[in-house]
Amino acid sequence: MVYIKKLSEHVDEKVTLKGWVYNYRSSKNLYFIELRDGSGICQCVVARDEVPDEAWQGAESLRQESSLEITGTVVEDERSIGGYELQVTDLNVIQVAEDYPITPKEHGVEFLMENRHLWLRSQRQWAAMRVRNEIIFAIHTFFQNEGFIQMDAPIFTGNAAEGTTTLFETEYFEEQAYLTQSGQLYGEAMAMAHGLIYTFGPTFRAEKSKTRRHLTEFWMIEPEMAFYDLNMNMDLAERFVKVIIGRVLENCENELNILERDTENLKKAVEHDFPVISYTDAVENLKSDETAQMLDDMMESRKQEKEDLAKEKEELEAEHGQAKKWRKAQIDQRIKDIAARVDQIEEDLRNIPEWKKSAREFEWGADFGGSDETILTMQYDVPILVHRYPAEIKAFYMKRDPEDDKLALAVDMLAPEGYGEIIGGSQREDDLDVLLERIHEHDLPENIFDWYLDLRKYGTVPHSGFGLGLERTVAWLCGLHHVRETIPFPRMMGRLRP
């Protein structure tokens, strides 16, 4: 058995492929089967005169997603999907599939989510999972090359690291337990044993947010480094993200094509420095006249684009009547794309005035909302690092800025193109007494942190770390609007199945 991905090594050879019917069409004495085997798609041509009768009957019985074995000669064919074609000499049906619910016609996203177990077979979903895999591999490679040790934090925990409001509670025999929302506190203990560590595990948040950026179960990568200050932390985060993007660009060209991802900005992110901005400067930026002007200009250019698209649509509709069949299909596709773009523009036209208002009225001390992040990042094509947030809105474990006690030595990385925060991190408070004070200020029970406080008693050192959200990173690199398509079986508010 040969995998489609490896067909280039078998040109002019006879091979057997095993897979499923992705698509098919027939003419009188020919069947064109697009076979998918998990590694790729290959067009297989069955000619009535070239195969035994049973094979021809088998081909005639095929339906979408039927499973089969197929034997034939590999020929190079540039026009063919994947660049190779199989000239079939034999074919053996394993199962004729029942009517497959996901047909090439369009389906609503709710229907597709209900059928996530099957939707995973579709090309775009396939491509997104391959990019996810590449990102995971790149993450491990990066840290392993840098001398980090991968260690796992527990999923059941007895302590609420960042407050209890967003924790899933569960029963642990007779005790109250929570599902972890971050491996960080354990990561700190592990860093004191190994110096450089990273965790890679599922984390859980019971936030009642139904946004395109929120899952209730997501995967987080959390490096923790002894003897790192905030600057070293930020440098590492930037190098890390650059390597991930570089690897995806290098190894996922086909997948990014399938996803129709414009890679211009991704290439820029590999090559250019990420702007580093303090929270205070970011607030000033939000409130500035320049930003208000930028949003006004954006409104104008969106309106203009909408008019241009309306005109183009009219012209296309006028052409449609006399057009040839192939051209009609082209026109239909373009009209569909225009409709989708106009929907987006209308959403922007509704949103931008509100964004402008909330940016103008933003007050120092508040947390950035999704629209504030979008406004800040759309001024750059590459991610930005925002540092030194008001301590009040950040977690108890963050170290204060020695230059200004109101600020925490925190950093967030905000991705461009509206993808928002992909990394959150900080330098940690390493002084026992200050940390105790913070725990009291935050009304956290001291006794559950006894082990964590030990780290400040026995050889405390400056240390830092951050957490990267895997799904938001996949969404950004794939150009997917919603994180629900970045994980095999998403868990979000209102979705626990399949």
- What is the token pair recorded at 357? 């208002």
How far apart (Å, rounded) are the C-alpha atoms in residues 490 and 495? 8
Question: In angstroms, what is the minimal distance from the CB of 460 to Mg ion?
Answer: 25
How far apart (Å, rounded) are the C-alpha atoms in residues 210 and 342? 24
Whether 248 contacts 241, CB under 8 Å: no
Whole-angstrom CA distances from 201 to 110, 144, 204, 218, 285 are: 28, 16, 10, 8, 36
Site string for ligand 4AD, 156-195 (x = CB under 6 A): --------------------------x-x-----------
Q: Which of 19, 40, 72, 465 binds ligand 4AD (CB under 6 A)?
A: 465
485 binds ligand 4AD (CB under 6 A): no
456 binds ligand 4AD (CB under 6 A): no
Say how many CA atoms lie within 13 Å of 435 toward its Cβ: 19
Task: Find the radius of gyration of the CA atoms of the chain.
Answer: 27
With CB under 5 to 8 Å by kind, the binding choice for 471 among Mg ion, ligand 4AD, none is: ligand 4AD
Query: Residue 297: CB partners within 8 Å, gap ≥ 6?
Result: none
With CB under 5 to 8 Å by kind, the binding choice for 490 among ligand 4AD, Mg ion, none is: none
422 binds ligand 4AD (CB under 6 A): yes
Question: In angstroms, what is the minimal distance from the CB of 265 to ligand 4AD?
Answer: 18
Question: In angstroms, what is the minimal distance from the CB of 420 to ligand 4AD?
Answer: 8
Provide the binding-site residues for Mg ion, judged by CB under 5 A: 424
C-alpha dihedral sign at 444, 446, 452, 453:
positive
Whether 43 contacts 61, CB under 8 Å: no
Nearer to Mg ion, 159 or 182 (CB): 182
Of 90, 110, 109, 112, give the one whose Cα is nearest residue 101: 112
CB 227: neighbour CB atoms within 10 A? Answer: 12
425 binds ligand 4AD (CB under 6 A): yes
Task: Indicate the helix (H) or strand (E) that contains 498.
Answer: none
With CB under 5 to 8 Å by kind, the binding choice for 472 among Mg ion, ligand 4AD, none is: ligand 4AD
With CB under 5 to 8 Å by kind, the binding choice for 76 among ligand 4AD, Mg ion, none is: none
C-alpha dihedral sign at 146, 151, 155, 156:
negative
Q: Among 138-146, 294-302, 359-367, 424-432, which window interacts with ligand 4AD (CB under 6 A)? A: 424-432
Nearer to ligand 4AD, 46 or 415 (CB): 415
With CB under 5 to 8 Å by kind, the binding choice for 242 among ligand 4AD, Mg ion, none is: none
Site for ligand 4AD in 210-229 (CB under 6 A): 214-215, 218, 220, 222
Query: Residue 254: CB partners within 8 Å, gap ≥ 6?
Result: 127
Question: In angstroms, what is the minimal distance from the CB of 424 to Mg ion?
Answer: 3
Q: Is 17 left (phi over 0), alpha (psi -120 to 50) or beta?
A: beta
Question: In angstroms, what is the minimal distance from the CB of 221 to ligand 4AD?
Answer: 9
Q: Which of 37, 255, 429, 471 binds ligand 4AD (CB under 6 A)?
A: 471
Question: In angstroms, what is the minimal distance from the CB of 451 to ligand 4AD?
Answer: 17
Residue type, 75: V
Q: Which of 255, 372, 401, 421 binds ligand 4AD (CB under 6 A)?
A: 421
424 binds ligand 4AD (CB under 6 A): yes
Q: Among 291-299, 305-313, 436-444, 460-468, which window interacts with ligand 4AD (CB under 6 A)? A: 460-468
Q: Which of 40, 58, 383, 467 binds ligand 4AD (CB under 6 A)?
A: 467
265 binds ligand 4AD (CB under 6 A): no
Whether 446 contacts 260, CB under 8 Å: no
The site for ligand 4AD, by CB under 6 A, has a size of: 22
Nearer to ligand 4AD, 279 or 466 (CB): 466
How far does Cα 278 stand from its chain's mean position? 26
Question: In angstroms, what is the minimal distance from the CB of 338 to ligand 4AD?
Answer: 32
> Which CB contacts under 8 angstroms, 24+ apart, belong to 401-407?
407/279
Residue type, 335: I
Partners of 32 in the β-ladder? 25, 45
With CB under 5 to 8 Å by kind, the binding choice for 64 among Mg ion, ligand 4AD, none is: none
484 binds ligand 4AD (CB under 6 A): no
Q: Three-state SS for 66?
A: coil
With CB under 5 to 8 Å by kind, the binding choice for 207 among Mg ion, ligand 4AD, none is: ligand 4AD
Question: In angstroms, what is the minimal distance from the CB of 485 to ligand 4AD?
Answer: 13
With CB under 5 to 8 Å by kind, the binding choice for 400 among ligand 4AD, Mg ion, none is: none
How far apart (Å, rounded) are the C-alpha atoms in residues 269 and 234? 15
Q: Which of 386, 466, 480, 487 binds ligand 4AD (CB under 6 A)?
A: 466
196-204 and 149-150: which strand pairing?
Answer: parallel
Question: In angstroms, what is the minimal distance from the CB of 394 to Mg ion?
Answer: 9
Query: What is the DSSP secondary-structure string of 400-465?
Result: EETTEEEEEEEEEEEETTTTEEEEEEEEBP--HHHHHHHHHHTT--GGGGHHHHHTTTSS---EEE
Residues that bind ligand 4AD (CB under 6 A): 182, 184, 205, 207, 214-215, 218, 220, 222, 421-426, 465-467, 469, 471-472, 483
